[in-house]
Amino acid sequence: MNRKEFLKKSALAGILGTSVLTSCAEDKEIINHGDKKINYDKVVRWKMVTTWPPNFPVLGEAANLLAEMVKKMSGGRFIIKVFGGGELVPPLEAFDTVASGTVEMGCGAAYYWAGKSTATQFFAAVPFGMNAQMMNAWLLVGGGYELWKETYAPFNLIPFMGGNSGVQMGGWFNREINTVEDLKGLKMRIPGLGGKVIEKAGGAAVLVAGGELYTSLERGVIDATEWVGPYHDYKMGFHKIAKYYYSPGWHEPGTELEFFANNKAYEKLSSDLQEILYTATLRIQNWMLAEFDYKNAIYYQKILEEGKVEVKKFPTQVIETLRKYTKEALQEVIEGDPMSKKVYEHYNDFRKKASAYNALSEQAYYDLIG
């Protein structure tokens, strides 16, 4: 008996009883399951557009992995075809493309959509905000996910957790940062709220496509760039052209990635396929952080061994100034938008509680082991 026949017969057995199964299994293709109907002979086909280049390490791979998981868990009844950024639509048009129903699903990071709603960026990364472990707690059991769905609802979208990068690095610089004065005039590729903070410090936040970053840094078009962490940074080759590698990633302490689906398309899914999709996103949530933690540890050593890079920490004075400007930037965001205020107040309330406990647990342990 193949898996399809097994699933069909198992569901029928639960509803009709084993004695009825033998005589009726051949005739019933559609089975009531709660308030949904499951048709085990129907194949659902979706398209997913991403903000990442095709097969991009970890981030693009996560989209491919999700599609594989969904196909396996559904016994081939749910097929998602992944299109990298630019293959079907430009990367930053993913949000609108899915919202309109042109395709059923997208993949990216919520701070890319701040132009649609400033509240979206709180579901990606907040400077001096929550790390991956805290974000996981807030989203999964702390009410954050419900607020995320509320934020996306006006756009006919439903969001799903799509992995987390963990604490990122502070970036690659061809200028040493000893004081706040060194940030003035600094041309840096840095997105989201972090970019606003750099501008408040007198620098310039520059938007440069990922494929142009190496050349822009090498030729002095920009003075600095942040990306993700050692694994991606090594692959981009920044250790060959930048003098300084700074820590910590104050601007992205635990960047949450996302999948998002057209809500009408999602509502058409049978209840089991909805659950399969959600479960697969949770597996990606767990896999991505593990992948980054593993690869970053390995590639940090490669950078030290192969590059002529000085790894440095931002001076305390610089960090405290950036923290002050972050508070100003956040205040400007929440004053201008009621939804942003609602989300941030909820986010920040948990951040304070989590940080207080973290000082006694995670941070205390890190200080212990050195």
CB atoms within 10 A of CB 17: 10
What is the pLDDT, as a whole number, of residue 7? 36
pLDDT at residue 28 is higher than 50 = no
Q: What local confidence, expressed as pLDDT, does residue 147 receive?
A: 98
CA distances from 98 to 49, 164, 166, 239 (A): 8, 22, 27, 37
Instruction: Give the model's pLDDT for residue 41.
Output: 85
pLDDT class of 210 with cuts at 50, 70, 90: confident
- Mean pLDDT confidence for 118-132: 97
Per residue in 290-346, pLDDT tens? 999 999 999 999 999 997 899 999 999 999 999 999 999 999 999 989 999 999 999
Q: What is the largest CA-CA distance in the chain?
A: 82
How far apart, in whole angstroms, are the C-alpha atoms of residue 283 and residue 49? Answer: 20
Instruction: List, for residues 188-197, the tens digit of each pLDDT value.
Output: 999 889 999 9
Q: pLDDT band for position 31 (50/70/90)?
A: low
34-79 tens-digit pLDDT: 556 688 889 999 999 999 999 999 999 999 999 999 999 999 999 9
Tens-digit pLDDT profile for residues 72-110: 999 999 999 999 999 999 999 999 999 999 999 999 999
The total of other beta-carbon atoms located within 10 Å of residue 33's CB is 14
* Residues sharing a CB contact under 8 Å with residue 272, sequence separation 6 or more, in sequence order: 33, 36, 38, 74
Q: Which of 344, 324, 290 is nearest to 126 (CA)?
A: 344
Q: What angle do CA 36, 38, 40 make, to 5 degrees?
A: 175
Residue 50 CA from chain centroid, whole number: 12
Regarding beta strands 244-247 and 310-313, do their DSSP bridges make them parallel or antiparallel, or are they unpaired? parallel
Closest CA to 59 of 18, 95, 16, 107: 107
Q: Looking at residue 18, what is its pLDDT?
A: 37
pLDDT value at 8 more than 50:
no
The confidence score (pLDDT) of residue 352 equals 97
What is the pTM for the complete model shown? 0.87
Domains recognised in the chain with CATH numbers: 3-164+255-293 (3.40.190.170)
pLDDT at 39: 81
What pLDDT sits at residue 239?
Answer: 94
pLDDT recorded at residue 24 = 38
Which residues touch 150 (CB under 8 Å, ≥6 apart)?
Answer: 339
d(CA 50, CA 90): 9
Q: For the chain, what is the mean pLDDT? A: 90
Give residue 83's pLDDT.
98
